[in-house]
Amino acid sequence: MIIDITRCNYAPGYLPKATQGFFNPFFAGANVAFRREAIRQTGGFDPNCQTGEDVDISIRVSRADWELWYEPEAVVNHQDPHTFRQLLRQWFGYGLGHAYVYKKHVGSPRLQVYWPGGKAGDSRPYGARCLMDLPFPFYGVVFLSAYHLLHLALLGLMIGVLAHYTVAGIVAGLVALAAGINYATIRFNRRRPLLLARHAWAALRGRYRVRDWRIAGRPTRACVVPPSDADALRAKRRASARIAIACARSARRRGQGAHERASNGAGAAGSSSCAIAPVRSS
Amino acid sequence: MPSEPRLTTSIVVITKDRPQLIGELFEALTVQTLAPDEVVVIDNNSASSYADVFNAYRTRLPLRTFVELTPGIPAARNRGIQEARHEIILFTDDDCVPQPRWLEKMVEPFYRDPRIGAVGGRTTYYGATGTLVERYYRADRQAVEG
């Protein structure tokens, strides 16, 4: 089961039904309306939730055969947290609170690892992919993304799970796993080795270049900003350098092959065989 | 819009120790294109006093205020449900500012289909102080929401 904290790809209109083992769309408590009858049937908010009571009630309303409708034209402006302390408390709290919601709604204990992404209006809900789904001694979800605040929530979730199950070893293992996968993600995405630092730096300068966001080399929806001239020039230089190297290599290989086949006479073919002339960058 | 009876609305706001923020929300509720039938405010046992801001808006909004002693968001929201008297119960928070057409747009889908049990709106984010944390937070959300 996934609680879609990122809410990245709700399409306007009816939302998919909450189903076990898959996505559970929800509405944040700051901007939601209920029909009185739906609230009455579900018995209101669960007092055991610390946070995530909005997630819980959305799931229960949806499972009680009511429809959920997303209306993007009904807009509420919400104040950003001002201080790091507030930010930490908020996201950490989400993670902590969600441990209980997972426990309550997931059918059997499982460990699931998800990778969110995809475009708006994707036929799969939110375009997220389940990377791993295993039976496990306790309920857990590892949600991977370039969305750093989510990692705070993840940390909170781990501790929340710990509080509910006291299986310290497993939790420690899971934290290590999450850290490992995150590290691997960053390594894999070689062009962006310091994702977090870049992210913070961009925010610091007040200039956020969404174009920089590539999840594992796959352009995200945000990659619509055309590259600037400087970037285009750099890309062109890089491309021509690559072609030049490739040509040089193939020339060498052909040269060697020719030497092996016939010791002399055929060498001339090697030097003129490159189809694309190397572009000189000035 | 339809011939059905009009759906009446209760807006439930829960708050704790933020009387300086809630005025902005009340102001936004007074300029809604569809006026709410009641605004239920649940004070979750705050230390600070809301008397001034409540008195300032009592004439401009159908305000009903209660104090819930049990701490926690679910308890406060449940109290709101208990006190709400209308067909559609809307929730928003004390640090939120709805846009003028918010209420109208939130109620519209309920007329469309009687099976709709819950409607959610879009939440946008704004920084009041322009701190680094605020900018980072917004950048992070934009990375996902586009």
Q: How far is A173 from chain B (nearest CA, A)?
A: 27
Mutation site, A4, A5, A75, A90, interface B, largest B CB count within 10 A: A75
Confidence of residue A142 (pLDDT cuts 50, 70, 90): low
Q: What pLDDT is recorded for position A208? A: 42
Q: Does the structure show a pLDDT above 70 at A53? A: yes
* Inter-axis angle of helices A195-204 and B132-145, nearest 10: 120
Q: Is A32 on the interface with B (CB under 8 A)?
A: yes
- Highest mean pLDDT: which range of A160-169, A205-214, A229-238, A266-275: A229-238
Question: Pick from A1, A96, A151, A190: which is nearest to B140 by CA?
Answer: A151
CB contact under 8 A, B119 and A68: yes
How many Cα atoms sit within 13 Å of A228 on the Cβ side?
A: 5
Q: What pLDDT is recorded for position A17? A: 75
Q: Is A47 on the interface with B (CB under 8 A)?
A: yes
Mutation site, A7, A49, A79, interface B, largest B CB count within 10 A: A79
User: Which residue shows structure tokens 């939730």?
Assistant: A49
Give the CA angle between residues B132, A95, A166 to the nearest 5°. 140
Give the dihedral sign, CA B64/B69/B70/B72.
positive
Q: Kindly state the average pLDDT of the residues B3-30.
A: 92
pTM of the model: 0.66
CB contact under 8 A, B132 and A82: no
CB contact residues (below 8 A), chain A span 71-110, against chain B: 71-84, 86-87
Backbone dihedral angles phi then psi of residue A94, each to the nearest 5 degrees: -60, -45
Q: How far is A200 from chain B (nearest CA, A)?
A: 7
Residue A177 burial (10 A CB sphere; 0-12, 13-18, 19+): middle
Tokens at residue A189, please?
A: 């995405």
